[in-house]
Amino acid sequence: MAHNKSAKKRILQTAVRTERNRYYRTRIKNIVKAVHVAVEANDITAAKEAFKFANKQIHALVSKGFIKKETAARKVSRLHKLVNKAEAAA
């Protein structure tokens, strides 16, 4: 346990940051999952809309510093490839 004031403050700050990061990581997973679900249901228009939303949200998280630019580019690229493949198959 922390013994001085600054150490106690750091513990509280870490807890707040951990909770915030958990929220955004979960949000990214849910956004990506929405695209996958739409593609699996063969609903191309819903998949395109979900991808458009995912692209915007993922890049917004980059600007806030929650994920790195390369990570976002990789996720968006994989989603785009998935949607294009589903569209070609339909």
pLDDT of residue 59: 96
pLDDT of residue 65: 92
Q: What is the CATH number of domain 5-89?
A: 1.20.58.110
Distance from C-alpha of 70 to C-alpha of 6, rounded to nearest angstrom: 35
pLDDT of residue 90: 80
pLDDT of residue 2: 84
| Ranges of the chain with pLDDT below 70 | none
pLDDT of residue 16: 97
- The DSSP secondary structure of 49-88, one letter per residue, reads HHHHHHHHHHHHHHHHTSS-HHHHHHHHHHHHHHHHHHHH
| Domain edges within the chain | 5-89
pLDDT of residue 58: 97
